[in-house]
Amino acid sequence: MRQAHIVGTGSYLPPRVVTNDDLTRVYGIASDDRWIRTRTGVEQRRFADEGVGTAELGAHAARAALDDAGLDARQIDQIVFCTLSPDKAFPGSGVYLQAMLGIPDDEATFTPCLDVRAQCSGFLYGLHHATAVVRAGMAERVLVVGAEVHSAALDLTTRGRTVASLFGDGAGAVVVGATDDDRGVRDIVLGADGRHADDLSQGVWDMRRRPFVPLDAEGNGRIPPEQLWATMHGQLVFKHAVQRMVDVVNDLCRRNRCAPLDIDLFLFHQANLRIVHAVQNLLELPDDRVLNNIQRYGNTTAATIPLLLDEAVRTGRLTRGMRVATVVFGSGFTWGGALLDW
């Protein structure tokens, strides 16, 4: 039976490191390292330089994944780009990534591009699509990229510290390919609850308004802070994230007739270390089964899972024959999980 498996992983992080102390020293945020670590687990994050967009970060990660898979970019049948911070309102970042990879270098190769907007769950939604089309024989190889540049849209003041201290920039990518071996992506479960869509959102692009950006008397756009910056009902998000992520693991285990301790490695979405620890404790998972990197990178939303995957492969935490589960929760609310035999 034709299966879909990950044949290459890659990641990229912008070189600029921003510590918790830097948020106070450079940006004047009234906070400190202990306050941020206690509430989020984040010790530092990466910020892209001005002029660097999401597609550019994604291109670095994509090239690394292609190299790992031993493939040329023109051998990819489809690009799936997952992000909540696209380079522009439109078009999607996937086409910018395609051009950066040099794919349309003649009149013979015009690789299709799909953008996925499922926020922190985006990579899992993208992996679900890639797995389906590869299994169905509609594609041989699909490039799935999760990339974010949050730093340009964070309220880096004391007013915005609760959200701003969480997020960082980065990108991860995988190549999903076909195999006849009994391995690969075993199962993916996805879910969403739109009743909570505004509980974690950024309302700057609201097409219900006329015009969608308020104008002043001179015709210049003027956006109030409550629309410009992301807003989050933190306690509600925490509660739902923990419950949904636990439910996803139990659902995957039920569907695949296994127990959580039959899974060798868990890659949980790196939203907040307290959320990960709560999920881990409820599932009674030992520390050596859970990989975290939020301490170094912050929450990179759609990039967290492919960043973790690449790190797990590069450090030897994930090796051939192991079973790994990836679990996510994000704005929307959206959530999902995947079970893979590596």
Cβ–Cβ under 8 Å, residues 166 and 298: yes
Name the region of 284 (left: φ>0; alpha: ψ -120 to 50; beta: rest): left
Query: Catalytic: 299?
Result: yes
- Helix 93-100 and helix 54-69, axial crossing angle in degrees, nearest 10: 50
Query: Catalytic: 269?
Result: yes
Q: Which of 269, 272, 292, 293 is catalytic?
A: 269
Integer Cα distance of 92 and 114 in angstroms: 8
Look at residue 180 and give its three-state secondary structure.
coil
Kindly list the distances between the CA atom of residue 163 and the CA atoms of 18, 110, 169, 326, 339, in Å, as whole numbers in the listed order. Answer: 15, 39, 14, 24, 30
| DSSP for residue 268 | E
Q: Which of 5, 82, 113, 120 is catalytic?
A: 120
Q: How many CB atoms lie within 10 A of CB 281?
A: 11
Integer Cα distance of 135 and 125 in angstroms: 16
Integer Cα distance of 239 and 246 in angstroms: 11
| DSSP for residue 108 | S
- The end-to-end CA distance of the chain, in Å, is 17
Looking at the annotation, which residues are catalytic?
120, 269, 299
